[in-house]
Chain A
């Protein structure tokens, strides 16, 4: 079946612009995660959605970062006023309710000039 999909695959933006990154989880997966993979920092958790519960935003690095999940499915990660240090690969993962295995999408490579 279809895996986790993310769009765009690559995004180049100028410093100060806003960007939106999209994630389509696997059908039936109620849990959705955003991670960031950057050089020297490895993979860092950003935000986690589980069903209709309030999201766990504890990993968001600043208030310029936000995410929403509409209808319990598609999620959008928004970065406002992008900075060069935001350049990274943003990964989305999803899983079944209370399951241990997360399935990752291919990522969006964000480059802030």
Chain B
């Protein structure tokens, strides 16, 4: 079952612009992860933020986590055509190996 929702469902921007995707979840978590999936490929891990962290950076990626609102956002700065993909958030709880994915955002970056 899906943990929560992501918005927007689809996002189309010009190369060089920033892209922001949001994720909401329903239960308490140990961490929240973001994955990218290119068409016809598997998922690639982008960044992990733990429940006691509020913000994390990795290259052009910035992730925030608000556990009081059960929400997270992923910001991609200075987007490139190669960033065109589906982006999923996924939550992990304290015990067990289970990851639960959000519905995903389809990002299209036009060159």
The answer to whether A and B come from one shared complex is: no
Which residues on A are within 8 Å of B, measured CB to CB?
Answer: none
